[in-house]
């Protein structure tokens, strides 16, 4: 019988088919007001020997021909370049058909790491970084306690690209609520235009218990964006984008699945959103089905 090994509790939707490894536990920042993922998990670096054992167990469980891998928890790039090199060398020694190895990374951590270290990690075989932008608006970034400025978001992404990584940026639709959706869209478009990531991924803000923004919403201090506002925000964001990126809506929280390659598919994506906005005003059951998404939990 195979022994199990320690998995990260969260991974991006696009890594659903990947083998998951836990390099750290928790989040070294752990202050974002909308996030409750690691509230009860003190941040820890796992010993390299344990991770190497996990890699060997994963090979026993899944066989040597797996092609995609993901490293958790929230910011594996906080580990020293030498440690990441050891882990990646072990991974590539055990699996010979690797296509993709990815990790979450904070933009601020990417700003602090030297370009030389980032290049070493990329050369050792980490291929793509999943980075939480959430919003590019300076005021909102401060309000949600992301701990990163718009310029640092851009710098982190640009450094990652310079080092040779693919970059996947996550936008949190609705994080400006009903009041600040326009500045959320315009600020986010500005950061994305300057960062020009390979992938832009959208997920929609859903209040989660044990987060301070959830408490503010319950106490009527934050008004959730309506479905129309979310769609108008997404329309404005796409309209302002001047990038060569894949735009993906691969999360269950999203109201309308809008996908495409920018700039070529922009017109069609805006038409899709325009139709959905029209349907919302004429079809009450459609509106109710979208509003139900606010009650999703454990995303
Ligand atoms: S959103 Fe990411 S960086 Fe912010 S607290 Fe949650 S895990 Fe940490």
Edge to edge, the sheet with strand 100-104 lists 19-22, 68-72, 100-104, 128-134, 166-173, 199-204, 246-248, 260-261
Residue 150 lies in a domain: yes
Residue 299 domain-assigned (yes or no): no
- Mean pLDDT lowest for which of 63-72, 193-202, 275-284? 275-284
Q: Is the CB of 55 under 6 A from ligand 1?
A: no
The pLDDT tens digits for 145-175 are 999 999 999 999 999 999 999 999 999 999 9
Q: How confident is the model at residue 219 (pLDDT cuts 50, 70, 90)?
A: very high
CB of 29 within 6 A of ligand 1: the answer is: yes
* Domain membership flag for residue 119: yes
pLDDT beyond 80 at 79: yes
Asked whether 30 lines ligand 1 (CB < 6 A), one says yes
Note the pTM of the prediction, 2 decimals: 0.95
From 8, 11, 37, 156, mutation site for ligand 1 pocket: most ligand atoms within 8 A of C-beta: 37
On the question of pLDDT at 22 being above 80, the answer is yes
Q: How far is it, in rounded angstroms, from Cα 52 to Cα 48?
A: 6
Residue pLDDT, tens place only, 41-51: 999 999 999 99
CB 258 within 8 A of CB 272: yes
Judge whether 6 lies within some domain. no
Mean pLDDT score across all residues of the chain: 95
Q: What is the CATH number of the domain that holds 139?
A: 3.20.20.70
Provide mean pLDDT across the span 238-265. 94
Q: Tell me whether residue 297 is in a domain.
A: no
pLDDT at 293 over 80: no
Q: What is the pLDDT averaged over residues 239-262?
A: 94
User: For residue 116, how far is its CA from the centre of ligand 1 (angstroms)?
Assistant: 26
Q: Which domain holds residue 98?
A: 13-292
106 lines ligand 1 (CB under 6 A): yes
User: Is residue 97 situated within a structural domain?
Assistant: yes
Quick: pLDDT tens for 252-290. Answer: 889 898 999 999 999 999 999 999 999 998 888 888 888
Q: How many CB atoms lie within 10 A of CB 220?
A: 7
Predicted pLDDT of residue 296: 67
What average pLDDT does the segment 217-243 reach?
96
Q: How many domains does the structure of the chain reveal?
A: 1
- Whether residue 111 is contained in a domain is answered as yes
In a domain, 298, yes or no: no
Query: Distance between CA 291 and CA 226 in Å, rounded?
Result: 8
């Amino acid at each position: 019988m195979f022994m199990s090994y320690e998995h990260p509790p969260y991974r991006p939707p696009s890594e659903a088919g990947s083998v998951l490894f836990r390099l750290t536990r928790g989040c070294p920042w752990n202050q974002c007001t909308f996030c409750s993922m690691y509230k009860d998990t003190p941040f820890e670096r796992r010993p390299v020997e344990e991770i190497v054992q996990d890699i060997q167990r994963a090979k026993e469980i899944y066989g040597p021909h797996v092609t995609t891998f993901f490293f958790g928890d929230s910011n594996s790039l906080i580990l020293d370049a030498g440690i990441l090199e050891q882990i990646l060398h072990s991974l590539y020694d055990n699996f010979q058909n690797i296509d993709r190895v990815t990790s979450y990374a904070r933009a601020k951590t990417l700003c602090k790491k030297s370009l030389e270290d980032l290049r070493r990690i990329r050369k050792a075989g980490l291929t793509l970084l999943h980075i939480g932008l959430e919003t590019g608006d300076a005021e909102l970034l401060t309000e949600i306690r992301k701990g990163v400025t718009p310029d640092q978001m851009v710098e982190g992404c640009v450094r990652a690209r310079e080092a040779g990584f693919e970059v996947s940026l996550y936008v949190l639709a609705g994080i400006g609520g009903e009041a600040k959706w326009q500045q959320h869209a315009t600020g986010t478009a500005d950061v994305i235009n300057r960062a020009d990531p390979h992938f832009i991924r959208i997920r929609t803000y859903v209040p989660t218990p044990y987060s301070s923004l959830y408490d503010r919403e319950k106490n009527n201090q934050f008004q959730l964006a309506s479905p129309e506002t979310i769609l108008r925000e997404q329309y404005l964001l796409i309209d302002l984008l001047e990038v060569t990126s894949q735009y993906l809506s691969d999360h269950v929280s999203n109201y309308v699945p809008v996908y495409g390659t920018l700039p070529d598919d922009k017109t069609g994506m805006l038409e899709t959103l325009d139709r959905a906005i029209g349907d919302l005003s004429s079809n009450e059951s459609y509106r109710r089905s979208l509003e139900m998404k606010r009650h999703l939990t454990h995303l």
